[in-house]
Structure 1
Amino acid sequence: MGELYARHLYPVLSAFLSALVSWIPFSMEEWFFVGACVLLVGIPLWSWKKKKGWKWTLRAEAELLVGVYLWFYVGWGINYFRKDFFTRSSLEYVAYQDSTFHHFLADYTRRLNQAYTQSPFPSQEVIEKEAKQLFAQVPSRFGLSSPKAYQHPKQVMFNTLYSGVGVLGYMGPFFAESQLNRELPSLQWPFTYAHEYSHLLGISSEAEANFWAYQICIRSVSPAVRYSGYFGLLPYVLSNAAALLEEADYRQLLSSIRPEILQTLREKQAYWQARYNPVVGRVQELMYEYYLKGNQIPSGQKNYAEVVAMILSLPDEWCS
């Protein structure tokens, strides 16, 4: 059912919802959520004032929550129940082997070092247009919806809150909107945009969203965007390497990466750490972990780093 929804119903529904709110400059997702919270608080107060009784109050609250729940799943959430990346694309999962992983690390590091550039980035409009053109070339077997010219990322209103919990962007399930953090550095913007846009195209897995962000960015005509693709993958590659390599091999991997790139990575981490609120962030992490595990992502937030397995399984002729 999930795959049927993702390939036939969701593309039509998301195109309609996006078109419905594309002319609005701010995120409708945020204000929908704010409105729902106001109603949850306001219903008991209104009920008390009108002497409706506790049964009426509970029923009204339940109806509101059920309505939001159903809209979430009908609007986007059923994508969590589609077939996994390997089944959809008819690719064989490549089991871990030392030689294969070491070859990947050497090849990736070489490409990352070669991609390093200080070239200026194109405008966000140009990056967005090219990304959509590249997404449109993805073979149908991968099961992505068709990108639409009127689907543009929305900037969030409560930006300090998102930066405080480390959220760089998110896909809005109620109006088919992608939202991006206004404080994104230029180097992270292309990768994050492509990641969130792949969610809008029907991808629920965080690992697969990273996969498409990487694949789209490294195919850009812009050297800066290509570097964003390789750099965006770096934290997940290092996470996998730290877990799988001996300490000496991991240190050797780090030494093979250009010092400028590692310095940029440290600066990026410091940039977001300065904005992070550990108390609120920890609460958000726990909630998001349970959310992912409750929606067919059993590895939770570790799913982000599973992108490497997808890259290893991809043949060179994947676009054919």
Structure 2
Amino acid sequence: MNTINTYRKKRFWAAILVVQILLFFIFSKLSIAISMFERFFEIQKEIHQLLFSWIPFSFGDMLYLLLGIYILYSIITFFKKKTRNASLFKILILVNIFYFSYQIFWGMLYFQKPIVEKLPEKEITLEKKKELALKYLEKCKQTRAVVMEDKYGVFQISDVHKIKTEILSQQAKLPSFISSKKAAEINSLKPSLFDGVMSFTGILGYYNPFTSEAQYNTQLPSSYIPFTLAHESSHQLGFAREQEANFIGYLTGIQSSNPELKYSAEYFTLKSLLNSIVYEDEKFVENVISDFSSGMKRDWAYEKQFAAKHQGFLNAFFSFTNNLFLKSNQQEGSVTYSYFIDLLIRYEN
């Protein structure tokens, strides 16, 4: 009798999962439903940040750690005949709860109206990308000259808290035709508890939709950190697509009065442009890099050194899985910059 009841329960929760998948698929096609999820996001974001932002460490990371331990325990018990059915039943319930929570808190935001539709059409030419690359090269040179350095002459952040505060301030000044989202007044940008591992994954930061916390890797070169913070804070603002979060991070940084945030945003933009040009004109990219200021060259060398030191299986694995995740959410792959470049050129014009 217990075996029959357990079987029925498993079938019930498996059916619920299928219904959820179909229901959220239908929601993703309805603009009125997406609009409701956008409004709900604004409410839950404020509640989550009030609940978790005051905690000095990432509460979301602790949840992930506990979830990982539970999943490992469930896998072990699944291979034991006596506890197999009970374990599968619990896993199905957990998957249902996780999937439902993820979709209402975050997943549906991937189907918002794309930013590109809010900007004028513009042909993306190699000449235009080169023109912008030279423009941002000069910007980077000027801003790099006024930031702090460590004893090796590499860019060093002086006060990360000021950068976080500046990001929230700049988000309130985003162009209204691009974003009508309410900027957060609560700082919920936190160091990741897994930063030692993150360095080997290629992940710079991530947003936790269950707590509205944004985590970043404190071990990154300083040239990465301000823009990574701006990018993850863009997710907190409600921009789900990766390249749109890059674009909002770009808008947040380029107008900033904080030279560290400004330099990191300009430097990211320059590198993105060069990455989009290199397969069409490698010689041009080499010439631009050779024209970096001495400080930029030291930052560039340190980034390459950091990447070489942390290459490995995890880096390749997370790059592959993240690529699949992005494509499953109607985004480009993790190494593709074309959408960000498209937004950049449309905005610049």
TM-based fold match above 0.5? yes
Report the Cα distance in structure 1 between the residues aligned to 2:190 and 2:105, rounded to whole angstroms: 18
Contact 1:10/1:202 (<8 A) preserved: yes
Match of 2:304 in 1: 269
Tell me the TM-score normalised to structure 1 length. Answer: 0.87
Q: CA deviation at 1:125?
A: 2.0
1:128 aligns to 2:156 (yes or no): no
Contact 1:207 / 1:307 at 8 angstroms: preserved in 2?
Answer: yes
Q: Which 10-residue stretch deviates more, 75-84 or 221-230?
A: 221-230
**Partners of 2:295 and 2:78 in 1: CA distance:** 61
| From 107, 123, 147, the counterpart of 1:77 | 107
Judge conservation of contact 1:17–1:176 (CA < 8 Å) in 2.
yes
C-alpha displacement of 1:101: 2.5
Task: Give the unaligned 5+ runs of structure 2.
Answer: 1-30, 149-156
CA change 1:226–1:58 in 2 (3 A) is same
Query: Which SS does the other structure have where 2:124 is aligned?
Result: coil
Percent identical residues: 23
Q: Is the 8 A contact 2:130 2:277 kept in 1?
A: no
Does the CA-based 8 Å contact 1:116-1:227 persist in structure 2?
yes
Note if contact 1:85-1:142 (Cα within 8 Å) is conserved in structure 2.
yes
Q: Post-superposition shift, 1:310?
A: 0.9
Residue 96 of structure 1 aligns with an amino acid whose one-letter code is: I
Letter in 2 for 1:314: Y
- Which amino acid in structure 2 is aligned with residue 273 of structure 1? A
Match of 2:61 among 30, 45, 61: 30
Looking at structure 1, the residues matched to 340 and 78 of structure 2 have their Cα atoms a distance apart, in angstroms, of 49
Contact kept, 8 Å, 1:7 with 1:144, in 2: the verdict is: no
Q: Shift of residue 95 of structure 1?
A: 2.1
Match for residue 62 of structure 1 among 92, 104, 128: 92
224-233 or 112-121: bigger deviation: 112-121
Structure 1 counterpart of 2:140, from 81, 98, 112: 112
CA distance in 2 between counterparts of 1:101 and 1:177 reads: 35
Amino acid at match of 2:280: L
1:70 shift after superposition? 1.5
Write out per-residue CA displacement over residues 253-308 of structure 1, whole angstroms, 9 at most, x where no aligned residue. 3344334313321211212331x2411211111111111111111x2113445322
Question: Where do residues 269-308 of structure 1 align in structure 2 (5 Å cutoff)?
Answer: 269-274=304-309, 276-297=310-331, 299-304=332-337, 306-308=339-341
- Alignment partners' CA distance in 2, 1:111 and 1:6: 39
Question: Residue 43 of structure 1: CA displacement?
Answer: 4.0
> Quick one: distance in 2 between partners of 1:181 and 1:75?
24
2:302 aligned partner, one-letter code: E
> What is the aligned partner in structure 2 of residue 91 from structure 1?
119
> 3-state SS of the aligned residue for 1:211?
helix
**Quick check: 1:178 aligned with 2:214?**
yes
The answer to whether the Cα contact below 8 Å between 1:19 and 1:151 also exists between their aligned partners in 2 is no
Paired with 2:289 and 2:77, the residues of 1 have a C-alpha distance of: 60
Classify 1:251/1:71 alpha carbon distance in 2 versus 1 (closer, same or farther; 3 Å): same
Aligned to 2:43: 12
TM-score by length of 2: 0.80
| Contact 1:6–1:143, Cα closer than 8 Å, also in 2 | no
Q: Shift in Å at residue 61 of structure 1?
A: 0.9
- Matched residue of 2:207: which SS? strand
Between 123-132 and 41-50, report the one with greater CA deviation: 41-50
Q: For residues 181 and 46 of structure 2, what CA distance do their matches in structure 1 show? A: 9
